Chains A and B, each alone.
Chain A
Amino acid sequence: MVELPRPAAIRCDGVVRANDPVSSGLLCLDLELEQPVSFLPGQFAMLNLAGDSSLVFSRPFSIFAAVGPVVSFLYREVGRGTRAMGALKPGDPLTFLGPLGHSFPVPDPRQPVVLIAGGVGLPPLAAWLEATGDGCERRVNAFFGARDGADVPWGILGDKWNVSVDNLVGMPPGRDAWHGLVTEMVAARADLRDGPPQTVLACGPTPLLKAARKLAAGRGWPCWLSLEEHMGCGYGVCKGCVVPVHDPGRGGGALRNATCCEEGPVFNAELLAWD
């Protein structure tokens, strides 16, 4: 299990090249930066409106893809910042700080992997699959869960992902999905349960992460989770996004606060003090 050397972060301006819905609730934003950028799957960037429209805090988004100077994000309009992002048109400016944080690790090539993504948690795992999952002997099973059929970005998922939906409405003709939670879909797979140990990589809402962690722990599988947390700075200075983690170095069940932005957002599930 290794983490690759992280590319250095840059802070620069960008111009929106595209900002379009990819499902009923998810949008994909392509941002062309002043210079090329590379990233590791699981790393994120802080985005903000430019100039006088700037929000007090930038907003964190997992990086979905980066090709040359164009970096892409998937997001959902949930608050003031993402609503403002949803209104951006091609040509509008945005500021970029990234890539930030730690990525998902790369397990041994022979180690089978289960990816569990929920909703807007798709980007880092889709990027991981794109970068790591193909072209080697590794066996990867990818699972994606959405609210309903209309909220699934079918065009992005292609045929590599097993899809679950909480609600069967909005299913396009010719598409299949498991009806229920994505973690239930994983748990129901007898070949995974009875096969060799898997490494679980998950990103999505906290209930999904907790269920993924429980599933992995019950089977003795390693598990890495990408956490979503409100952030002030994204680069470790404000201490506004801490997560309580076990501190094995101090022993005795000691806990400490880890910054989600700098030490995460990807954590070894065993270290999280969620109990």
Chain B
Amino acid sequence: MPVAPRHRKRIILSVPGWWKTDPNLPFTLGPRVIPGRIWTASGCFAYGLSGHDISAPDIPSPYVGIGAVVTKTVTPAPRTGNPMPRLVETGTGAINSIGLENVGFEEFLAVTLPDLESRGVPTVVSLAATRPDQFGEMAGRLQEKAAGYTHWHGVELNLSCPNVAEGGHDFGRDPDTVAACVQSTRAQLPDRALLAKLTPNVTDIAALATAAVDAGADAVSAINTVIGLDVDLATGQPVLPRRFGGYSGPAIRPIALAKVDEIVSRSGVPVVGVGGIENFEDALKFFALGAVAVQVGTAQMRDPFAAARIARALAL
């Protein structure tokens, strides 16, 4: 009778021979040169200021090798977010319902972004709004305030946060609305990278990617969280007060890989891969499919050095 091995067999022990791109080197994305290809994902490293006081014996800082921190999503007005509980761990994934809690665009612009610039954190600002024109307004203000900033590299549009329960907020499912949001932003953002983060909760993600790039985006980030739900058996009710949340973590990696493949093969647009990346092997799978960069999300919550470790492991 076969005996199950105690540990999963590791197929790759070091970086494979086909890997020829050092992700620690700068690369061009649209009008901008980005310092590296290993990023942290929105919502998983806050605004990018929380890692400065943490050290590790083997890495001097969580920022070493990080190409960009995609900030926690910022909205035109501050948001207090959703009631607790906001997180559920489910085996190899986690469902969140944070509700876009954030300091609001004005405070971000006045306090957070200058702080990121002075600390030299490579930054991509994640924006969400309730109308397409608000994206343009915020992009215009960013451009005004931060035109001289050297570490602000771009904007990622959060068009698909499934845990915000406001009518019509989930822009990300309609190609025309995605295009409107991108156009409004692009018009104000001549010299920074513009990314649209796509939801996987659609039947044709490649069409959304095409719409975003045709409207002026330099790349798409794929994927945002998958809609998920867990039930508390003690009460028979969903664990999260808003029932649904965004499912993330290693469980969604195969979904993310499939969506990235679909976008690359059908739309041919540049993709930043995100979804369940925990280590350099996971990152390599996205690069193997043609991703131009990757974002580390849930794993960054567990280990502030997760992205830095991946960048180090893939250095050539």
Please give the residue numbers on chain A whose beta carbons come within 8 Å of chain B beta carbons, in ascending order. Answer: 8-12, 34-35, 46, 48, 51-52, 54-58, 80, 95, 97, 229-230, 232-233, 235-242, 256-257, 262
Contact = CB atoms under 8 A, between A and B. Distances in A.
Contact of A256 (B54, B80, B87, B304): B80
Given A97-B54, A232-B87, A239-B81, A57 B302 contact: yes
- The residue among A48, A58, A235 with the most chain B CB atoms within 10 A of its own CB is A235
Contacts of A57: 87, 89, 94, 301-302
A54 B7 CA distance: 12
Given A12-B57, A57-B87, A257-B101, 14 more contacts: A11-B55, A11-B56, A35-B57, A56-B89, A56-B298, A56-B302, A97-B54, A97-B303, A237-B45, A237-B300, A237-B304, A238-B98, A257-B80, A257-B81
B286 to A, nearest CB: 19
A241 B250 CA distance: 22
22 contacts: A8-B54, A8-B55, A10-B54, A10-B57, A12-B57, A34-B57, A35-B57, A46-B302, A54-B302, A56-B94, A56-B249, A56-B298, A57-B301, A57-B302, A97-B54, A230-B87, A237-B46, A237-B300, A238-B98, A239-B101, A240-B87, A257-B81
Contacts of B94: 56-57, 232
B87 A55 contact: no
A10 B89 contact: no
Majority DSSP secondary structure for residues of B touching A:
loop
A150 to B, nearest CB: 26
Interface residues of B, number: 37
B98 to A, nearest CB: 5
Contact of A52 (B7, B85, B93, B101): B7
- The residue among B51, B93, B249, B304 with the most chain A CB atoms within 10 A of its own CB is B304
A35 B86 CA distance: 34
B8 interface: yes
A9 B54 contact: yes
A57 B86 CA distance: 13
Contacts of B98: 238-240
Interface in B29-78: 43-46, 50-51, 53-57, 72
A23 B40 CA distance: 43
Contacts of A12: 56-57
Contacts of A52: 7-8
A95 B57 contact: no
A46 B300 CA distance: 13
A11 B87 contact: no
Nearest to A233: B301
B118 to A, nearest CB: 19
Contacts of A235: 50-51, 54, 304
Nearest to A46: B302
Interface in B199-242: none
Contacts of A233: 301-302
Interface in B172-217: none
- The residue among A56, A229, A239 with the most chain B CB atoms within 10 A of its own CB is A56
B251 to A, nearest CB: 8
B46 A10 contact: no
B306 to A, nearest CB: 10
Contact of A95 (B89, B92, B249, B303): B303
B54 A11 contact: yes
Interface string B3-23: 000011000000000000000
Given A10-B57, A242-B101, A237 B50 contact: yes
